[in-house]
Amino acid sequence: MENIEELLNQDDVLSCIHQFELEREGEEWGIFINIRETLVGPGKGNFIAVPKHIIQECSNTEYVGLGNSVEEALRDCLRRIKGVPFQQIISEKKVK
């Protein structure tokens, strides 16, 4: 029986996406928090939580959560965005 790695090219990355939706009173719209769990490839076992609004992801890494599990990455992301307006999270560009 073939395992997943045998079905992929050498440099492919296969991830599973866990999605949560966050709504806040007083906000015009809600946001999603997508947690990318790398299953195969570089970064295997990493979890990265990224806030997004339908088609636009957060581009500021200050709001991106990290962890060793879905729950850790989600908690880290929620800590980072607590009290920050959704429009700021999604539209803000990180200044270099």
pLDDT in tens, 57-66: 888 999 999 9
Q: What confidence tier does 96 reach under pLDDT thresholds 50, 70, 90? A: very low
DSSP 27-49: -SS-EEEEEEEEEESTTTT-EEE
pLDDT tens digit string along 12-24? Answer: 999 999 999 999 9
- Which stretches within 1-96 are classed as H helix? 70-81, 86-91
- The whole-number average pLDDT for the span 40-50 is 91
Domain boundaries, the chain: 4-91
Write down the mean pLDDT value for the chain.
Answer: 90
50: its two tokens: 């990224």
| pLDDT, position 73 | 96
